[in-house]
Structure 1
Amino acid sequence: MAALRRAATWEISESEDSDLDLKSELNRDGSCQKETTHSRGEPEEKPTNLPSSAATSDWRAGLPAPEAAGGSPSPARKRRSREEMEAARLSAKKRKEERERQRAARAREKEERKREQQRRREAAESLRPENRIKSLTVCIEPALLQHAGSDILLDRLAMLEWRFTFESQRLSRSITWTRDLPQQVEDGRARVEQEDQVVLVFTLDEFVDVVISVKEMVDGDGQETGTVLSPLLECLNRNKVVTMLVTDFESHHWMKEYFPEQMLRTKLGMKDQDVEEVLVYLQLYQNISVVFLESWQDITAHVCAVTKALSKRPFNLLTERTELPFCVDGSWAGGARVGRDGSGLRDVWVRQIQQLNRVSPAVAAAVAQAFPSPRILLQAYQNSGSEAEKKRVLAGLWVKTEGKGRRVGPDISGRMYRSLTAENPQLVLD
Structure 2
Amino acid sequence: MSTVDNPTIWEISDSDTEIEEDPGDLQLEDRSNTIPAKNALPPPPSYDYELPCPPKKRRSKEEIEADKEKVRLRKEAREKIRAVKEQEKQEKKKETQRRKEAAQHINNLKPENYLKCLTLCIDPALLQQQGSDILLETLSSNELQYSIKKQSFPNSITWTRDLTQLAEDVEATDVEDQLVQVLGPSEFLDMVISVKKVIDNEEEEPVLDYSTVKKVTVLVTESQTNSRKRGHASGDTIQSKYGGKDLDVEEVLVYLQLYKNTSVVFLEGWQDVTDHVCAVTKALSKRPFKLLTEQAELPFCVDGSWASGARVEKDGTGLKQVWTRQIQQLNRVSQVVASCVTAAYPSPQLLLQAYEALSSEEDKKKLLADLMVKGEGKDRRVGPEISTRIYRCLTTHNPELVLD
Task: Decide: shared fold, TM above 0.5.
Answer: yes
Q: Higher helix share goes to which structure?
A: 1
**Offset at residue 210 of structure 1 (A):** 1.8
2:326 to 352, 358, 362: 352
Per the alignment, do residues 295 and 408 of structure 1 end up closer, same or farther by CA in structure 2, a change over 3 Å counting? farther
Q: Does structure 2 conserve the Cα–Cα contact (< 8 Å) formed by 1:136 and 1:178? A: yes
* One-letter code aligned to 2:236: T
Percent identity between matched residues is: 45
Q: Deviations over 1:245-284 (max 9, x none)?
A: 11217x7xx24896352x4322011213322332233333
- Which residue of structure 1 lines up, in the alignment, with residue 177 of structure 2? 196
Partner Cα distance (2:32, 2:381) in 1? 116
- Which residue of structure 2 lines up, in the alignment, with residue 212 of structure 1? 193
- Which residue of structure 2 lines up, in the alignment, with residue 264 of structure 1? 234
Q: CA RMSD in A?
A: 4.7
- Which residue of structure 1 lines up, in the alignment, with residue 24 of structure 2? none
Per the alignment, do residues 393 and 255 of structure 1 end up closer, same or farther by CA in structure 2, a change over 3 Å counting? closer
Q: Does structure 1 conserve the Cα–Cα contact (< 8 Å) formed by 2:118 and 2:159? A: yes
Partner Cα distance (2:365, 2:339) in 1? 20
TM-score (norm 1): 0.60
**Offset at residue 212 of structure 1 (A):** 2.4
Per the alignment, do residues 180 and 325 of structure 1 end up closer, same or farther by CA in structure 2, a change over 3 Å counting? farther
- Which residue of structure 1 lines up, in the alignment, with residue 13 of structure 2? none
- Which residue of structure 2 lines up, in the alignment, with residue 288 of structure 1? 262
Partner Cα distance (1:40, 1:179) in 2? 108
* One-letter code aligned to 2:202: D
- Which residue of structure 2 lines up, in the alignment, with residue 414 of structure 1? 387
Partner Cα distance (1:283, 1:242) in 2? 9
**Offset at residue 339 of structure 1 (A):** 1.3
- Which residue of structure 2 lines up, in the alignment, with residue 136 of structure 1? 118
Per the alignment, do residues 28 and 136 of structure 1 end up closer, same or farther by CA in structure 2, a change over 3 Å counting? farther
Per the alignment, do residues 295 and 31 of structure 1 end up closer, same or farther by CA in structure 2, a change over 3 Å counting? farther
Q: Secondary structure, in 3 states, of the residue corresponding to 1:179?
A: strand
2:106 to 112, 119, 124: 124
Counterpart check, 1:398 vs 2:379: no
- Which residue of structure 2 lines up, in the alignment, with residue 222 of structure 1? 203
**Offset at residue 137 of structure 1 (A):** 1.4
Count of aligned pairs between the two proteins: 336
**Offset at residue 48 of structure 1 (A):** 7.8
1:311 to 276, 285, 292: 285
- Which residue of structure 1 lines up, in the alignment, with residue 338 of structure 2? 364
- Which residue of structure 1 lines up, in the alignment, with residue 153 of structure 2? 171
Per the alignment, do residues 385 and 398 of structure 1 end up closer, same or farther by CA in structure 2, a change over 3 Å counting? farther
Per the alignment, do residues 396 and 31 of structure 1 end up closer, same or farther by CA in structure 2, a change over 3 Å counting? same
1:275 to 249, 253, 260: 249
**Offset at residue 146 of structure 1 (A):** 4.6
Q: Deviations over 1:192-234 (max 9, x none)?
A: 212232100112222112222333454563346xxxx64x33x
**Offset at residue 415 of structure 1 (A):** 1.8
Per the alignment, do residues 286 and 166 of structure 1 end up closer, same or farther by CA in structure 2, a change over 3 Å counting? same
- Which residue of structure 2 lines up, in the alignment, with residue 53 of structure 1? none
- Which residue of structure 2 lines up, in the alignment, with residue 36 of structure 1? 36
Partner Cα distance (1:370, 1:327) in 2? 24
Q: Does structure 2 conserve the Cα–Cα contact (< 8 Å) formed by 1:185 and 1:191? A: no
**Offset at residue 163 of structure 1 (A):** 2.6
Q: Which runs of 5+ in 1 are unaligned?
A: 1-24, 50-66, 73-101
- Which residue of structure 2 lines up, in the alignment, with residue 248 of structure 1? 222
Q: Does structure 2 conserve the Cα–Cα contact (< 8 Å) formed by 1:199 and 1:245? A: yes
Partner Cα distance (1:165, 1:210) in 2? 27
- Which residue of structure 2 lines up, in the alignment, with residue 9 of structure 1? none
Q: Does structure 1 conserve the Cα–Cα contact (< 8 Å) formed by 2:340 and 2:371? A: no
